[in-house]
Chain A
Amino acid sequence: MQSRTLRIILTVFFIGLLATPFVIKRLSARKEPAPTTANASTALARYGLSFQESAKASGVNFTHAAPKLDPKLDHIMPQIASMGAAVSVVDFDRDGWQDVYLTNSEEGKSNILFKNLGNGRFSEMLGDNWGNGENSRKNGVSMGAVWGDYDNDGYEDLFVYKWGRPELYHNDGGKGFTRVSEQAGFPKWINANSAIWFDYDRDGRLDLFIAGYYDEKIDLWNLADTKMMPESFEYAQNGGRKYLFHNLGGGKFEEVAEHLGIKSRRWALAAVAADLRGTGYPDLFIANDYGVSELFFNDGGKKFREVGSQTGIGFAPKSGMTAAIGDALNRGAFAIYVSNISEEGVLIQGNNLWVPRAGTSGENLKFDNLARDLGVEIGGWSWGAQFGDLNNDGYQDIYLVNGYISADRNGSYWYDYSKVTGGNTAIISDAKNWPPMNNRSLSGYQQKKVWINDGAGQFKEVAQIVGVTDVYDGRSVALGDFTNSGKLDVVVANQKGPALLYKNTVAPDNKWIAFDLEGANSNRSAIGAQARIFWNGQQQAQEVTGGSGFCSQNQRRLHFGLGKGASVDRVEIRWPSGKTQTIRAPETNKIHKLKEA
C-alpha cells in the first residue's frame, strides 16, 4: 500500500515535470503584455514612443539588390549572397542635418547618399561623385560603409568595404567625393563584412580596422573550387584576415594588424571599438560568425592582446552578427550586445549581452552574459542591433532586425542546413556538399524586436505595439535624429528589400540632451570621445563610435534621454586626446555643439 502510494505520488511528480515547460511559458507570457495592433496613442501612452514607417514618403526610395556570384554557388546562392544591405548616418555637408547612406550589392548598381533637406524629406544625390561604391564584377560589390574625417578637414570621408576592392572617398567640402583608394595604400581585394574608424594610438588621426569574412584570396565571381565555406559551424578559423590601417597622414595608411597582435582568421561580421577599461585607449571587440567573439585589449596603442577567454566572452561559440555598445544599466560602463541565431526547435544560441561584472575593472575586467536575465536574448536569426534611448526615458533601449532568407513560406531549408553544418570539416567546407535551397526559406519573415529598457533590469519587447511591423530580411540598422527634435529615428537596410525609415514620435514630457562633438587635438570626428552625464542621482556614458552594429554606423551625435522633469547636474567629456571638459547644468532639450578646448 505504501509502495502504491509512493508510486502515485511519483507519477504526479512526473506529470508535473512534463508540465513544467507549459508553466514556464505561461509565466513568461504573463510578464509580457500580449502584442496588440499598432496604435500610436496606445504606444505613446504605454511606452513613450511610436514609430511610423515613412521611407518613401520622405524621399528615401531605395531597394537593395544582391550580387550574382559564381554559378558554382547557384544551388545555395541566397545563402551566400545574403549580405550587403547596409546603412550609415552622417552629416556629410555639415549643415547640421543627419543624412543617410545606403549600400547596394548588385553589379552595376550604385550606393546612394540621401541628403536630409531639413524639412522631413531627403534628396538622392545624383551623379557618380557621391561615392557610388563602384559595384561591379571586376571591382566587387559593397557590403557596408563607415564615415570618418581621416584628414581632419572637417568633413566626414567615406570608406566603403566590399567583397572586392576597398574604396576610400575623400569628402570635398560636402560638394562631392573623390575616390582615393589607391593613394591610401589599401590592398586590391578584401572580402570584408565589417570596418570601423578609430584612433587606436590617439595620435589625432583616424585609423581604419577592416575585418575579412571570406578569405581575401577568394574571388566569389570566379571560384577556383567550391571549398570556400567555413571549416566548422562553430570553430571556423579559415575566414578572412584582419587589417588595421594606421593613418600616416597625407591620405596614406600602413597596415599593422599582425604587427600589433591582431592575427585572427575567424569569420568576422561586426566590430566595435570603445574604451572599456578607462585607459583612454579604445579596445576592439569583434563578433565572429561560426565561432567565439574576440576582445582585444589595447595596450597603449602599441599592442593588442586577445582577452576573450580572460574576460569571459571567449567561450560558447555562436554566430556573432552584430556588436553594439551601450550603458545598459546606467552604471557608467559599457555593455556589448552580440546577436546570434535562435530558431525554435532547431538552434537556440541566444543573443549575448555582455555586461561588465560589478567589482571588476581594468586588467581584471570580466563580463557576464545577462541577455536572458534582462530579456534581450531571443531575437530569431538576429542581425544588426543598436543601443539608443528610443523613448527618452533615460535608459538605453535596443532595436534589433532579423530574418535570414524569406522565400517560399511553405518550405524550410533548416533541416538540410542542420544536416551539413553538423558534419565534418571536409563536408561542411565544400559548397558542393550543401543541398540546394530550391527557393526555400531559412528563418524568414521574422518580426523585429524593439526592446524598451524599464530601468529596473528588464527590457520589454514592444515592436508590434509601437509600429515596427515589417518582416523583411533586416540586416543593418542605424539611429539618427533626422529632424533635430531630440528623438532617435531608425533607418533599416533590408537584404533584397526596401530601406525603411521609422520616424519616431516620443512622449513630449520626456526630456533629452544631445552633443555634437568636434575634436581639435583629437581626431576631428571625435570618434572615441566619451560623454558621461550625471542627473537625478544616476549617470550614463556614451562614446562616439566609427561604426557599430552590423555593417552600420549611427549618427556621431550623442543623444541622451533624461526622463520627466529632469535637469542635468553635469556632463563630463573625455576627448580621445585625453583632455577632459566638464559642463555644469547644461540646458536640456537642446543639441550642444562642443569643440575640444
Chain B
Amino acid sequence: MPETITGTSMTSEVAAAPSSQPDAAQAKSASALSRFFSIENRYLAPMLITSILLVGQISYGLLESFTRTALAIGVAMLLELALGRLFYGKFPHLASSYISGISVGILIRSPAFWPYALCSAISITSKYVIRWKGRHLWNPSNFAICALLLLAPEAVSTLSIQWGNDKWPLIIVWVLGALITWRVKRFHITATYVASFIVFAALRGLITGHGFLAEVAPITGPMYQLFIFFMITDPRTTVKQRWAQCLVAFLVAAMEMVLRLAENIHAPYYALTIVGPVALAFEIWWTARKQAPAKT
C-alpha cells in the first residue's frame, strides 16, 4: 500500500503540524479566531508567508521579480498535483507545495528564470524519491536550495539582504511568526535555535575577534526569519519528541557554528541539511527498534 502524502508533508507547514485531535467540546467552544489561529488551519502558514512576501515586495522590492516567484510556486503546485495523482491516486492538498514554491521564490536569488523552476521541481520531487520507512528525510525546499547552491553556484545565490532600513517589517515578521509558531506548538524549536544562535554568535565573536554584533548580524536579516519560522519547524522533517526537537534545533545551530567558522556563506542551509536527516533517521531507527520486540 502506498503511503499517503498529505498536504502537511512539506516545507514549513507549521500550521499543519500533527497533533492530537481536538475533542468535540473544545471544537464547539472555540471561537472563529481561535479556529483561525489553530493547528488545523492549514492555510495559516501560507497566509503568513504570503503576507511576508507582499510586505517585503511592496515595501522594499524584496523579490528578484514577481514572475520568478510565480514560476516557482506554479511549478511546485503543478508537480505536486501530478505526482500526488500519479502515485497515490488523488490530488493532494496544495498548501504545502505553495509554501515550498513561495519559499524558493523568496530565498533563491538569480537573474535567470530556470533556477526557480528547477529548485521547485527538485524540492517537490525529493519528497517522493528520497524516502526511508515512509518518511522523507530532508526538508524539501532546504534540500533543493542546497542542491542548487552546490550544483549551480554560477547562477544562484540566496537572499541575504535586509528588510530595508525600517525596523517595523522586522518586528512584524517576528511577532507574527512567533505568535503562529507558538499557536501551532512549534515555537520551542524557533526559540531554541535563536537562543543557540545568539550564544554561538557570542562564542564565535570571541574566537574570531570580530565582535558579537558582526556575528549576530545574519540573524537580523530576512533570510533567517524565513529559516527559523518556516524551515526548521517543518513538522514532517523534524523529530517527534518536544525535547528532541529542541536538541535538534540546538545541533543545527552548533553545526552552523562549525560551518561559519569555516567561513561557509550558506551555513544555515547546509547545517539543516546535514543535521535534520540524521536526527530523523535516528528517530525512525530508534522507534523501529523499540517497536520490534512488541511485533514479535
Contacts and interface: CB of A to CB of B under 8 A. Distances in A.
B61 A292 contact: yes
Interface residues of B, number: 54
A14 B218 contact: no
A432 B153 CA distance: 31
Contact of A415 (B60, B64, B122, B265): B265
B6 interface: no
Contacts of B83: 10
Contact of A435 (B149, B161, B210, B220): B210
B221 A236 contact: no
A418 B160 contact: yes
Interface stretch (B14-22, B162-170, B269-277): B162-170
Contacts of B165: 231-232, 235-238, 425
Contact of B122 (A18, A234, A371): A18
A422 B162 CA distance: 6
B65 A22 contact: no
Contact of A421 (B64, B128, B148, B161): B161
Interface string A264-293: 000000000000000000000000000010
Interface in A425-473: 425-428, 430, 432-436
Interface stretch (A48-56, A341-349, A529-537): A341-349
Interface in B81-127: 83, 86-87, 109-112, 114, 118, 121-122, 125-126
A424 B217 contact: yes
Contacts of A11: 129
Nearest to A414: B265
Contacts, number: 155
A466 B162 CA distance: 41
B23 interface: no
Contact of A350 (B111, B122, B160): B111
A317 B87 contact: no
A430 B214 CA distance: 10
A420 interface: yes
B207 interface: no
B265 A233 contact: no
B170 A424 contact: yes
B215 interface: yes
B111 A233 contact: no
A97 B213 CA distance: 55
Contacts of B87: 3, 6, 10
B114 A24 contact: yes
A428 B87 CA distance: 49
B111 A372 contact: yes
A313 B228 CA distance: 33
A45 interface: no
A414 to B, nearest CB: 7
A358 interface: no
A163 B118 CA distance: 46
Nearest to A19: B151
Interface of B: 2, 60-61, 63-65, 83, 86-87, 109-112, 114, 118, 121-122, 125-126, 128-129, 147-149, 151-157, 160-162, 164-165, 167, 170, 208, 210-211, 213-218, 220-221, 223, 260, 263-265
Given A21-B155, A233-B161, A346-B265, 20 more contacts: A3-B2, A3-B87, A10-B87, A10-B125, A17-B118, A21-B118, A231-B165, A315-B61, A316-B65, A317-B60, A345-B149, A377-B111, A416-B210, A420-B214, A422-B223, A423-B220, A424-B217, A425-B165, A427-B216, A428-B162
6 contacts: A20-B118, A21-B118, A232-B164, A412-B263, A416-B263, A422-B217
Interface of A: 3, 6-7, 10-11, 13-14, 17-18, 20-22, 24-25, 231-238, 292, 315-317, 344-350, 369, 371-372, 377-378, 412, 414-416, 418-428, 430, 432-436
* Closest CB pairs A-B (n = 5): A423-B217, A345-B153, A350-B111, A415-B263, A424-B220
